[in-house]
Structure formats: structure tokens, C-alpha cells
Structure 1
């Protein structure tokens, strides 16, 4: 086998095999998840003292007020809300003015302003944690709306079971009104629900979610020493250390935590780039801890795969470029040689796609809308691939990045400066290359590159304000 043949084989494997494994594993968890039976129905609700920690930076004030009103509506006997602000000084003054108004409405809310925001969100969570007095802490983003029963039943479970140090609620999209939030929100809902139910059925601990997870305060303070300020993905990082110590994080499907999904492509791009870096960074820093954890081998493997969930997209992106480049140099269509890998990819994607379709259709009760949402989600994920890839590379190289919060409300659509339209440039380049490949006889590789180009061009057409402007 020549060097070019070896590279061609590796390119085909890198492009399709990780995706195939992703489809197989998620289809497996879906099948397993159907055996999930909740054990929470008979648990009485316990509202022992709880501290809500709300880290903020550049958040719309109306979002904060709505969250306070929502929590205040719980009428809890013993609670506190700790708002930890990393905002500039001019915003600080406005927040303290609003604090008097909020407290006059009998919300037990406190404001902590950090002049030096060390550790970004993780640092803000630690500040709130060590200032809190509740037996339980509930980190919340300003756009999260947990159901009251999630709080009461989670606390009751942890009171009875010393090994359970955290409970995750059922993640639900808060907003699915527009094209993007609906496509992304419904797909994420299916994926999170399937993985968490599947892991629960197999007796495996689940990872906490950044918002919508209640923790035992004592364990966070005394044993784990809070969140690691060197890591930007706070939920995955703290989850790894909890699992490494043999503690359990339970999944509660009966009560929901509603979370706002980005409604602009710009917001989604910022969020997903940060998540891709954060998950890979946690994989690099907590690999040994997970491997040595007391969980079963299956749990260790799945935990590592969960942290590397963005890897298939990165490998497919670079594998596609290599396949196209190799053909221009050797005139060999390696995808045609290993066509059975491509066929397998089509088959397993079809199975997983049908699972997503059936679950989304169950929510929308509209077959055509479910199909459209699947296509739209696939296009968006494809267009995000260069950003995900670059974020993962930086994490693998142990490069530090600046934490960028996902913009919400008025901040999500703000910005008018021109930017390099990576999506449009990449899509145009892939389209041009695909035409060359098809006319040159590289049918399968040409079709594959053409398929990739459509995702970039669709996003450029549908959301030009986020593609051509920052």
C-alpha cells in the first residue's frame, strides 16, 4: 500500500467511522431508554434550605427580574438568591439600584459584584457557593425556568441517599418559536433525554447540566472545593470529579428545567464553540480521573465518548478536505474504493435520523415540519464545523481562551461590524470543488463534498446577519 493509499483509507475512516459509532451508540441508548421507569413518583417533596446561584455578565435586566419573579412564585420557606455579577462598574451601579427594588418586593436576593472576575463562570459559581448558607445549591442561568417539583423531590432524594450528591432535571427548550431555536432545541431535547434515560437504565451516573442541577452544598464546599476555575465547562468538569469519587448524579425525568435556546446563529456559534473547547478541555484534564473511577468499564467508555462528542464533526471536516485534495493529486476516488463505509454511514444515519424524526414529530405532530427541522439542524451543525474544529484543536494544544457567554435577548442580535463570512467562503469553495470532482469522475467524493457545501450555503442564505456581521 502506497502512502497516498494509506492516507486515503485513513481519510475515509476518519470521515465516516466516528459518525457511524455516534449513530450506533445513540441508537443503542434510545433503545435502552425505552425501558426507563421513574422511581420519583412516590417521593415526597422536601424544601429544605436552598441557595440559588445566578452568575451574570451582560445579561438583560428584564431576564433577571423575570427569574426573581419566577423563583419568588415558589413561596419557599427557606431560600436565598445570590446574584454574582462580573459586569463593568457602570452596570454594577444599576444592579445595586435594582437590588433595593427587588428586596422591597420581599425577594430574598443578594448581589455580589466581582471587581476581578477570576475564573469566569466557574469563579462566579465558587463565589456564590462559599457565600451561600443553604444545605443545597441550585446554579441557574437567568434564562432557566425549573419546575418547583424538581427542587422538592431532588432534595428529598438526596436527603435519603448519601451517595447521591446531585440531581439533574429533564432538559426542555423554553423557546421553539423560530426556525433555529426549534431545530436546535428539539434535537437537543431528544439527545439529552435519550442519553440520560439510557445511562440511568444501565445504572450509570449521568453528567450534571450547567443549569437545572441541584447539588449538596457540603460536598461541593468540603470535598470538591468548588468548581475548577481553570476549566470553562463547569458542568462536565464537576461531573467528572464527582464520578471519580464514586458519587452518583441522578436523572429525574418527571420534572423539567426549561432553558432558552439561542435564536440567532451568532448566539449558537458562540455557545457551541465554547462547548466544543470546554468538553475537549475536560477530556484532557480529567482523563485519568475517569479511567480510574469506580464506575463500570461501560460507564468509563461512555463518559469519555460524551466528552469527545464533537470529535466526529472535526474528523469529518478534515477528512473531507483530505479526500478532495487526494483526488486532485492522484485522480483516485478513495470513497468509491471504500464505498461500503459510505453505505454503512447512510444506513446507520438513516436509523438514527428516523429516531430523531419520530421523537420530534411526537412533539410537533407534523411530519413535514419534523423532516424540515432535521434538515435544518444538519445544515447548521455542518456550518458550525470549522468553529468546532478550531476550538477542539486549541483544547488539544492546551491553549487558553477567553470565556464568552452566550448572548441573550437584546445582546443576542446586537452587532453590526462586518466579519469574515467563513460559512459562505467554505460553502462556495466546497461547491466549486464538488463540481470539479463530479465532472472529473469522482462521483462519490463529489456528491459528499456537494452535500457538505449545501449546509454552509443554506446557513449563509438563511441567517446572513449572523454570517456576514459580527
Structure 2
């Protein structure tokens, strides 16, 4: 095995190290961005002609009627248009009655084509707002304080798109939801850093406000699985401006269990990698494009990590032990980076009134969910890179709603657990101690994660 051992070890070392690039990327973006107080130097109050120049659109696909009515009540003061997909004809009279009661408008699409972007374009092409109008998009589960909307509108007068700060409204519902609440704190630190470094941020699908004329300039909303991020990339390529407003908060619901989390992450992973593949050449021709490309490619870290794990499995099967120098190299890279990342999360948690003793378990819940989702995320990334297959877009469960699936749906996770545990035991029996040390955290994570999924606590 001498002939194959060295290439395998080197391949493992390179791929395992590269799998950390998303974490290192985020830490660098945060560290190199100097905080500067946002100010436009303009008076407080309503801008322009107020919401008269604002088109508010709320797309919904097969959302529960109760949730739809709550959204109509919540957004009624903004006179929004609800664009609805996959609602049967027998429910339409009731929905139209609800719309009249709350003073909102509803549109039904006969064919739900083009994903969410197709629904948004449907509204624009029928309403035909002037180019100077602003278009605000909200999900049915989201909400915004009128004062925060005013902040967004003031900035929207100066940019082609403005992006709010998301806060997980249901962050205390479960450990997984709380972990995502903390994750959003870091995400928007990265957004703030991107803005200061390259004067660009991705557009978010709920709460962002875009100029209608700018939408028309780039060919309207992309009709693909991740329309918001792709629109932000189109804006960047065409020299249009996007701006992150940290003071404007939009409250959103996050998935509360593993199956809802997996549904959302698969769409984001596939969509982001597809956008990267589609626009990479255009991005690399513009200043700052590499930073945007690296942002889009962060989900590739899970593909790389999965490949490194498969390489370790192959090494155990072939009875190859990781050399001490390679183990020390990997440990020297992994341990400081992951500890720094954990410290950054906990520091943000403390700054926002969190409880470290409680929230360390919330961070662990998200980590377990990502470990369990790793094989599926790797496949989604590979599909997007190769341009094959697709993702069936379904709405992320809202509020306290969870997706509950039986053990049969966890078959990929079960196969992965059996594989990792078997290889870990084999490494012990063969005396491959350094391989065992590498496999130990994966073994613990997969076993614990599957146990919690089957118990319904993840």
C-alpha cells in the first residue's frame, strides 16, 4: 500500500484543509471590516411620497389559511398584493373574502412556474409600476415595525436595493431554532463586512426593497430556486448598488426541527452553488468578484468535508494510518480555526443578551444538524456543479410548525451512521489510532444526531 498511501494522505490533507474555507472566509470578512456608523445625513421621517411609491408583494405557496390571514392582518396598513400559488379553486372565495376584510389585494396564478421569482414577475408585469417605484418583498411569516420600514425606505432612495437585518422571531422554540438565531448574528456581521469591503451584499428574499427600474434593467427577478441571491449577483455584475441596513430589522421564522432545516439548507446549497457556476466568469471580470464568488461557494465546504471523510474511510479500509505529521498539520489548522469561530459566536451571543450555558447547546444542535445533513448537502452541491437534476422547492415550515417524517426518510442518515461507526471500530481493531482520533468526532456527531432525530429532539 506504500504506492497509494502517500497520494491518499496528501489528498486528505488538502481537501480537509480546504473544507474549512467558509469558516476562515467569514472570520476574515469580519476581522477586516472596520465598523462605521451608518448615516445618510438626511432628516428623519417619511421619504418621497411615502408608501404611495412602494409596491409591497407577499408571495405564498400552499401556506396554511390561518397563516395567510395573519399576514393579511399584519401587513394590511401597507396595502400589499398577495400572489398565491397552489391554492385550490374551492378556497379562493374564502381567501378573497379575507382580502376584502383586511383591505389587501390577492392574485392567483393558474400555473406556478418560475419559482418565487416567477410569482414576483407575475405581479410586476400585471401591475406595471413605473421605474421609480420601489418593490418590497416579504414572506408570509415575516413582520416589520413601521419605523424600521421607514429606515429602509430612506436608504432605498439612494440605492438600487436595500437589505434588512433578519431576526429569528421563534428563536426560543427549540435548541435548533436558537442556534439559528445565533447564526444570524454572525451572518449579518459578514454582511456588514462585505458592504464595507466591496460595497455589495446579497439581496434577501424577505424584507429587501428593490427599485423597479433596476429590476427591469437586469431582466426582472431570476426565475430559479434562489432568486434573491441571484438577483444580488446580477446587480453586482451590472454595476447596480445594494446596501445592508443594520438598523432595520425584519422578523422571520426559522425551521424548528431537522427536517425543516434540511429542506431549507438543501435549497440554499443547491441554489447558491448553481448561481456560482452560472455567473463565475462574469464575477471574475469585475473588481471584488472573487469575494462574491467565495461568498456563493461557502456550501461547497460540505462537499469538501464529505470527500475528506470518504478519503479517511478509504484509508481505514486499505489499512493506511494517517502519518503523525499529517495529523499534527490538520489539528494545527482545525483546532484554532474552530475555536475562534466558536468564540465569535459566543461573543455575539453575549453582546445580544444570550446565556452561554444555554446557548452552547443551541450551537451544538445546529452543528449536529449540519453533520447529519452533510451527505445530502454534498449531493446537492455536486448536482449544481454538474448542472444535473434539481431541487423541489417547498415553503419552509413557519412558526412552531415542524416537518415530521418517519425513520424511512432518515435512510441516508442511517447508512452514514452505520458506515462511520463500522469504520471507526475497524480503525480501533487494526490499531490505526490516528485514524480513530480523526473519526471520533464524526462518529459521536452522527450517532448523537441520528438518536436525536429519531427521538424528535433535533
Normalising by structure 2, report the TM-score. Answer: 0.91
Aligned-CA RMSD value: 2.4
Q: Is the 8 A contact 2:84 2:106 kept in 1?
A: yes
Q: Extract unaligned runs of 5+ from structure 2.
A: none
1:35 maps to which residue?
Answer: 35
Q: 1:444 to 1:148 in 2, by over 3 A?
A: farther
Alpha-carbon distance between aligned partners in 2 of 1:37 and 1:323, rounded to the nearest angstrom: 47
Task: Map residues 59-138 of structure 1 onto 2, 5 A cutoff.
Answer: 59-72=63-76, 75=77, 79-89=78-88, 92-105=89-102, 107=103, 109-132=104-127, 133=129, 135-138=133-136
Q: 1:80 to 1:465 in 2, by over 3 A?
A: farther
Q: How many Å apart are 1:453 and its aligned residue?
A: 2.3
Is 1:451 equivalent to 2:449 in the alignment? no
Q: Extract unaligned runs of 5+ from structure 1.
A: none
Normalising by structure 1, report the TM-score. Answer: 0.88
Match of 1:223 among 217, 223, 245: 217
Q: How many Å apart are 1:446 and its aligned residue?
A: 1.4
User: Secondary structure at the residue paired with 2:403?
Assistant: coil
1:376 maps to which residue?
Answer: 365
1:12 maps to which residue?
Answer: 13
Match of 2:272 among 272, 279, 304: 279
Alpha-carbon distance between aligned partners in 1 of 2:153 and 2:193, rounded to the nearest angstrom: 23
Alpha-carbon distance between aligned partners in 2 of 1:414 and 1:443, rounded to the nearest angstrom: 39
Q: Is the 8 A contact 1:175 1:260 kept in 2?
A: yes
Q: Is the 8 A contact 2:194 2:200 kept in 1?
A: yes
Q: How many Å apart are 1:279 and its aligned residue?
A: 0.4
Alpha-carbon distance between aligned partners in 1 of 2:328 and 2:150, rounded to the nearest angstrom: 54
Alignment length (residue pairs): 448
Q: Is the 8 A contact 2:254 2:398 kept in 1?
A: no
Task: Map residues 22-421 of structure 1 onto 2, 5 A cutoff.
Answer: 22-33=22-33, 35-39=35-39, 42-44=42-44, 45-46=46-47, 47-48=50-51, 49-72=53-76, 75=77, 79-89=78-88, 92-105=89-102, 107=103, 109-132=104-127, 133=129, 135-159=133-157, 161=158, 164-177=159-172, 178-187=174-183, 189-220=184-215, 222-229=216-223, 231-293=224-286, 296=287, 299-334=288-323, 337-401=326-390, 402-408=392-398, 412-413=402-403, 418-421=408-411
Match of 1:429 among 395, 419, 422: 419
Q: 1:446 to 1:43 in 2, by over 3 A?
A: farther
Map Cα deviations across residues 84-140 of structure 1 (whole Å, 9 max, x no partner). 122142xx43133222233133x2x22221221111212112112223437111111
Map Cα deviations across residues 255-310 of structure 1 (whole Å, 9 max, x no partner). 101110001211111110111100011011111222223xx3xx212211111111
Q: How many Å apart are 1:313 and its aligned residue?
A: 1.4
